[in-house]
Amino acid sequence: MRNTTSYESPFCTRYASEEMQHVFSADKKFSTWRRLWVALARAEMELGLPVTQEQVDELEANIDNIDYDVAEAEEKRRRHDVMSHVYAYGQVCPKAAGIIHLGATSCYVGDNTDIIVMRDALEIVRRKMINVLANLAHFAMEYKGMPALAYTHLQPAQLTTVGKRATLWMNELLMDFNELEYRIANLKLLGSKGTTGTQASFMELFKGDTDKVKELEAKIAKEMGFNGVVPVSGQTYSRKIDSQILATLSGIAQSCSKFSNDMRLLQSFKEMEEPFEKTQIGSSAMAYKRNPMRCERITSLARYVMIDSLNPAFTAGTQWFERTLDDSANKRVSVPEAFLAVDAILNIMLNVTDGLVVYPKMIRQRIMRELPFMATENIMMDAVEKGGNRQELHEKIRQYSMIAGKHVKEEGLDNDLCDMLLADPAFMITKEDLDKILKPENFTGRSEQQTEEFVAECIQPILDANKDILGEHFEMKN
């Protein structure tokens, strides 16, 4: 039922996917707590503690049998979320009630669950990033040879190609992807470290047997799909882990923001556009408008993520000794929202990159307005080869360029620099010679080859290694 009487997060109602929302849901959180309690009980049983297979089986059978009403009522009475869920679990597992959470502290379920949730969320981000890269790679290869104005200082500079520009967007996303891969590969559970990280309670349970205490953690990590646990900790895993992960998400947001800002400028130039649906309204007042609303949303959400990434940085820097609780309320908001925002950004990126619109004639027109200025060096060199004086020719070009610039900027006329050069016998050039020089393809350098090389060497291996998450649409075409 639609909620119209109280605040709801736009991440849930408007932006993030159901898939990502589920990762941060109560069902995911508390079922993971129970999976961790099962893993703990199973490992303790296998290592000789008085836990039976019947108890483990009972716990396992009721992982998803969560009575939230019972848990909430108990939390009101006890003011402790973990113990309220221990109680609720025990109500449906009467045979195992006495061994749930044996030897553990709250962070055993809380922190280990946070790591598991972030790992699963990172995998969703990873999959979507690969698909965005695939879209951009297709686009880059399709337009690898189409000349376009390049800009430095947002002023026209030497030419590039439409495809080469796309490699700049991809390259930054590739840097983020490599960072993402590193974070996923090196993420480890907190394990079973106890109240201050010393594992004292488990040393008591196992009568001082260090090897069994260490093996307990190894068994839990393996069951939860990790290759290890953090080597040392206080009560919690280091909050630098949250900071590093959100820094990675911030990097993705930065790259997507760069793309969206470039697209907004290109749409203003009428060279390229984001997708625009047939019945879409661009403006309530100006019916002709085609606003880049998707890319504007990317920019907006990216700004949020970049600022949000400061939260865990401050949290990590202000934890006292083995732990303080000033992390909890902040972490509960900042970490999920960073993931939900990046998920939303990547959803829009998938939509935009799969439907980019290019206007070749407008791109060509804008090139030809500026190309005479860029071609002056070639024209001058040709004239020098025919016997002209380089310095004198340079001064003439400077003067003619100032006049042509004035005609364009002050009088709104076309660029007539070439007409002035053709009329000056010092340049010894014909219209046919000039047309050969003024061919945009002559001014793009290695743009086409760089695009081919980048896609083949840097992007294609990623796509080849992840065909299971790419459909036929993403099979590269030469």
Mind telling me the catalytic residues?
A: 153, 283
Residue type present at position 215:
E
Which of the 8 DSSP states describes residue 231?
A: S
Given a contact cutoff of 8 angstroms between Cβ atoms, the answer to whether 81 and 328 are in contact is no
- Tally of CB atoms within 10 A around 439: 11
- 45-59 residues labelled b (16+ CB within 10 A) or e (exposed): bebebebeeebbebb
The CA radius of gyration of the chain, in Å to the nearest whole number, is 31
- Tally of CB atoms within 10 A around 74: 19
- Tally of CB atoms within 10 A around 258: 17
Which tokens hold the place of 464? 């080849």
Can you point out the beta strands (E) in 240-301? 272-273
DSSP string computed for 333-395: HHHHHHHHHHHHHHHHHHHHHTS-EE-HHHHHHHHHHHHHHHTHHHHHHHHHHTT--HHHHHH
**Type and span of the H or E element at 117:** helix 106-142
Which tokens hold the place of 216? 């307990």
Q: Which residues contact 223 (CB under 8 A, 6 or more apart)?
A: 39, 42, 43
Handedness of CA 361, 365, 368, 370 (dihedral sign): negative
Exposed, middle or buried: residue 283 (CB in 10 Å: 0-12, 13-18, 19+)?
exposed
* Max CA distance (Å), the chain: 103
Which of the 8 DSSP states describes residue 63?
A: T
Give me the residues paired with residue 148 across strands. 160
DSSP string computed for 120-179: HHHHHHHHHHHHHHHHHHHHHHHTTT-EEEEEETTEEEEEEEHHHHHHHHHHHHHHHHHH
Which of the 8 DSSP states describes residue 94?
A: T
